[in-house]
């Protein structure tokens, strides 16, 4: 337990020491999106009956920032440790693959939550969403951040260079998070793109998360929960077996 | 029980065989040198011991614990100082050591950390960020990180490569004191005189194979590298001794001395030709020569 906790603490301190880049910067980015989109669209778009566009946008932006930062934390920490070689200090001690997995994943999720809290605080001045079902908010926040942290773990293990990781981020994570209904309700999309969105797990994370705020969503939250839970389980199994086998880490 | 036991350990990297079938043991209390030219497979062998690399063949045990089947206990039994200079730029020296202790499941380690810092001359650097340390200082921290859990077996992979004399002395006196307290020490080094003065047993690797493993004293006795220098009057060497000649300066003749018993025959040959022996000196081979000879054999 001490080993797990130490690694978790180290991973949290690692981003907290440079919180200006790892927390403040993404909060500012989310704020810019809100300012621009809300300014342009607030008067014209009403995604759900009785829900203003600005209010609609806040949970989506919040979750998008959380997911991207959970991914960034595990993936960047791992690739840095691999490239600088200091990963040996994690590999030499008697940490089990579960401790390794758990500590990195939870620290990534923790960064997601800190960024999420920052986005929420910063956007409260514009609009206060109703927080209808707080438990759903927490469940989707936790599962979504863990899922993306695990995806970051896999990407960090797989990538050997920074540009491979950047490709993973730009060609997979960014499209998945941007095309997930952060900025719109997918009901406003043409049917083809609606059905494409249904193959994007991030869509369900955002939709379920938003349901917790408004009690309205594009799909039933239990359905979203099942998709997110299933994806999480698959990624957990993949990453655990990678860590256990020592893939690209213990040669 | 041996401190370390390699049983037919082999490692392939793709089609390339870095280690063939290496078997040997390091006994508890040994100060053991693992020598060999670059690429011989020393680091690979140490990585297998540390669990950083998985052997393709064979088994490895530390203090009787299999490094794969019983990896948690095995890793507690060994402290490794890696060859490459690696550090975490996010933290200072003390933090690095507290984290390292925690990874080994040790919560309150301040007393021992202070002691290590003191012995390695790091006390006044404890709160310096790793990034701000010189190479030599970083190397000391790496040694400290290997010791946080008081491992019975300590392995140093070229700890003094490119390091100043002062650190070498601090480091060796500390490591020697650890050895005297019962820790088993394994080191690889390019400075053969270090192995010669510090170690009691020596193994040599060459292209992934163990080519020698002996007590240092036995290895130093390896005659081929020994010679005798004779100062003669008149300055001439009997014909029968010519094949042994290595070098000649004026009246000083250096002859190969494969075995100390051959000295009798040499002196007899001189007497027979009535050549006076003015002086005689037997040179001790140094490890460097033995090493070079064995590597070229
Ligand atoms: N990860 C690796 N992939 C491919 N070849 C490797 C790898 N690690 C080591 N080698 C090769 O194995 C051989 C032994 O290397 P090493 O154990 O580092 O030697 P030493 O430490 O004795 O200098 C070298 O030829 C080296 O190039
Ligand atoms: Mg080496």
Q: How much is the pLDDT for B225?
A: 59
User: A-chain residues within 8 Å CB-CB of B84?
Assistant: 85
Cα–Cα distance, B281 to B297 (Å, whole number): 27
User: What mean pLDDT do residues A221-245 have?
Assistant: 98
Q: End of a domain among B163, B196, B220?
A: B220
Q: How much is the pLDDT for B145?
A: 98
Q: End of a domain among B182, B200, B220?
A: B220
Q: pTM to 2 decimals?
A: 0.89
ipTM: 0.93
Partner-chain contact B99 A10, CB within 8 Å: yes
pLDDT at B191 over 80: no
Q: How much is the pLDDT for B208?
A: 95
Contact B211, B56 (CB under 8 A): no
pLDDT at B223 over 70: no
First to last CA, chain A: 26
Encoding tokens for residue B255? 């002859």
Question: Which residues neighbour B285 within 8 Å (Cβ) at sequence distance 6 or greater?
Answer: B220, B222, B224, B225, B226, B227
Contact A245, A221 (CB under 8 A): no
pLDDT tens per residue across span A109-123? 999 999 999 999 999
Residue-range domain boundaries for chain A: 2-245
Q: How many CB atoms lie within 10 A of CB A229?
A: 14
pLDDT tens per residue across span B116-145? 999 999 999 999 999 999 999 999 999 999
Contact A138, A221 (CB under 8 A): no
Q: Based on the domain organization, do B42 and B131 belong to the same domain?
A: yes
Q: How far is the CA of A87 from the centre of ligand 2 (A)?
A: 18
Tokens 């960064």 correspond to what residue? A111
Contact A223, A85 (CB under 8 A): no
Report the run of H or E that residue B135 belongs to, with start and end.
helix B135-147
The residue contributing the CA closest to ligand 1 atom 12 is: B18
Q: Smallest Cα–Cα separation from B27: which of B45, B46, B1, B7? A: B1
Q: How much is the pLDDT for B82?
A: 97
The residue contributing the CA closest to ligand 1 atom 25 is: B39
Cα–Cα distance, B200 to B33 (Å, whole number): 8
Partner-chain contact A17 B106, CB within 8 Å: no
Which of A3, A84, A88 minimises the CB distance to B82? A88
At residue A38 the predicted structure's pLDDT band, cuts being 50, 70 and 90, is: confident
pLDDT at B224 over 60: no
Q: Based on the domain organization, do B58 and B121 belong to the same domain?
A: yes
Which residue range is the domain that position B25 belongs to? Answer: 4-220
At residue A251 the predicted structure's pLDDT band, cuts being 50, 70 and 90, is: confident
pLDDT at B293 over 90: no
Q: Based on the domain organization, do B242 and B193 belong to the same domain?
A: no
Cα–Cα distance, B145 to B80 (Å, whole number): 8
Which of B54, B99, B106 minimises the CB distance to A250? B54
pLDDT at A158 over 90: yes
Q: From start to end of chain B, where are the E strands?
A: 4-13, 16-26, 31-35, 57-62, 65-66, 78-81, 153-157, 184-188, 201-206, 209-215, 227-233, 245-249, 252-256, 276-283
Q: How much is the pLDDT for B285?
A: 72
At residue B291 the predicted structure's pLDDT band, cuts being 50, 70 and 90, is: confident
pLDDT tens per residue across span A199-219? 999 999 999 999 999 999 999
Partner-chain contact A89 B90, CB within 8 Å: no
- Residue B188 belongs to domain with CATH number: 3.40.50.300
Q: How much is the pLDDT for A43?
A: 74
User: B-chain residues within 8 Å CB-CB of A94?
Assistant: 71-73, 75-76, 103-105
Cβ < 6 A, ligand 1 pocket: A 251; B 13, 16, 18, 36, 38-44
Q: Based on the domain organization, do B245 and B98 belong to the same domain?
A: no
pLDDT tens per residue across span B47-88? 999 999 999 999 999 999 999 999 999 999 999 999 999 999
Tell me the ligand closest to B42's alpha carbon. 1
The residue contributing the CA closest to ligand 1 atom 7 is: B13
Q: How much is the pLDDT for B203?
A: 94
User: What mean pLDDT do residues B235-249 have?
Assistant: 90
At residue B290 the predicted structure's pLDDT band, cuts being 50, 70 and 90, is: confident
Domain count, chain B: 2
Nearest-atom number in ligand 1 for the CA of B42 is 22
Q: Based on the domain organization, do B143 and B14 belong to the same domain?
A: yes
Q: How far is the CA of B39 from the centre of ligand 2 (A)?
A: 7
Q: How far is the CA of B40 from the centre of ligand 2 (A)?
A: 8
Please provide the average confidence, as pLDDT, over all residues in chain B.
Answer: 92
Q: End of a domain among B202, B220, B238?
A: B220
What is the rounded (10 degree) CA torsion for A53, A55, A57, A60?
-150
Q: Based on the domain organization, do B288 and B213 belong to the same domain?
A: no
- Residue B287 belongs to domain with CATH number: 3.30.70
Q: Based on the domain organization, do B200 and B227 belong to the same domain?
A: no
Cα–Cα distance, A92 to B119 (Å, whole number): 23
pLDDT tens per residue across span A134-152? 999 999 999 999 999 999 9
At residue A105 the predicted structure's pLDDT band, cuts being 50, 70 and 90, is: very high
pLDDT at B190 over 80: no
Q: Based on the domain organization, do B54 and B79 belong to the same domain?
A: yes
Cα–Cα distance, A179 to A198 (Å, whole number): 11
Q: Based on the domain organization, do B213 and B256 belong to the same domain?
A: no
Cα–Cα distance, A139 to A151 (Å, whole number): 18
pLDDT tens per residue across span B196-208? 889 999 999 999 9
Q: What residue of B is the nearest CA neighbor of A251?
A: B53
pLDDT tens per residue across span B103-117? 999 999 999 999 999
Query: Helices then strands (H, E): number in chain A?
Result: 12, 0
Residue burial A81-109, b: 16+ Cβ < 10 Å; e: rest: bbeeebbbbbbbbbbeeebbbbbbbbbbb
């Amino acid at each position: 337990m001490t080993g797990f906790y130490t690694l978790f603490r180290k991973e949290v301190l690692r981003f907290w020491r440079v919180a200006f880049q790892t927390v403040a910067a993404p909060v500012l980015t989310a704020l810019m999106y809100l300012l621009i989109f809300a300014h342009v669209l607030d008067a014209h778009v009403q995604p759900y009956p009785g829900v203003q566009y600005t209010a609609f946008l806040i949970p989506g932006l919040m979750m998008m920032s959380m997911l991207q930062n959970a991914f960034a934390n595990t993936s960047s920490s791992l690739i840095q440790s691999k490239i600088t070689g200091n990963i040996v200090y994690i590999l030499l001690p008697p940490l089990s693959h579960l401790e390794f997995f758990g500590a990195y994943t939870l620290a990534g999720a923790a960064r997601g939550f800190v960024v999420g809290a920052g986005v929420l605080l910063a956007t409260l001045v514009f609009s206060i969403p109703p927080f209808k079902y707080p438990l759903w908010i927490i469940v989707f926040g936790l599962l979504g951040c863990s899922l993306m942290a695990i995806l970051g773990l896999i990407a960090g293990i797989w990538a050997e260079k920074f540009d491979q990781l950047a490709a993973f981020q730009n060609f997979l994570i960014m499209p998945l998070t941007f095309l997930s209904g952060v900025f719109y309700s997918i009901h406003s999309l043409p049917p083809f793109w609606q059905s494409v969105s249904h193959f994007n797990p991030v869509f369900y994370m955002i939709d379920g998360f938003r349901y917790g705020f408004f009690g309205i969503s594009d799909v039933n939250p239990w359905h979203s929960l099942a998709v997110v839970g299933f994806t999480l389980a698959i990624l957990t199994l993949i990453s655990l077996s990678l860590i256990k086998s020592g893939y690209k880490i213990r040669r | 029980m041996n401190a370390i036991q390699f049983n037919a350990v082999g490692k392939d990297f793709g089609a390339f065989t870095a280690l063939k079938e290496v078997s040997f043991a390091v006994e508890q209390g040994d100060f053991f040198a693992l020598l060999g030219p670059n690429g011989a497979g020393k680091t690979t062998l140490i990585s297998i011991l540390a669990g950083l690399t998985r052997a393709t063949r064979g088994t490895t045990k530390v203090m009787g614990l299999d490094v794969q089947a019983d990896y948690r206990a095995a890793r507690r039994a060994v402290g490794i100082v890696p060859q490459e200079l690696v550090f975490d730029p996010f933290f200072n020296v003390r933090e690095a050591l507290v984290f390292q202790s925690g990874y080994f499941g040790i919560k309150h380690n301040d007393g021992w950390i202070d002691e290590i810092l003191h012995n390695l001359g790091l006390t006044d650097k404890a709160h310096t960020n790793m990034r701000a340390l010189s190479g030599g200082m970083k190397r000391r921290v790496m040694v400290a990180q290997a010791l946080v859990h008081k491992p019975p077996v300590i392995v140093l992979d070229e700890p003094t490569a490119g390091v100043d004399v002062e650190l070498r002395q601090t480091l060796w006196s500390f490591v020697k004191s650890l050895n005297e307290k019962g820790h088993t020490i394994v080191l690889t080094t390019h400075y053969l005189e270090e192995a010669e003065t510090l170690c009691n047993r020596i193994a040599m690797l060459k292209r992934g194979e163990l080519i020698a493993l002996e007590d240092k004293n036995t290895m130093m006795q390896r005659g081929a590298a020994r010679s005798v220098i004779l100062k003669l009057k008149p300055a001439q060497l009997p014909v029968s001794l010519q094949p042994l000649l290595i070098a000649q300066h004026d009246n000083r003749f250096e002859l190969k001395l494969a075995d100390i018993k051959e000295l009798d025959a040499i002196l007899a040959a001189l007497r027979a030709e009535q050549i006076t022996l003015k002086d005689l000196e037997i040179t001790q081979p140094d490890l460097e020569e033995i090493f070079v000879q064995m590597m070229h054999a």
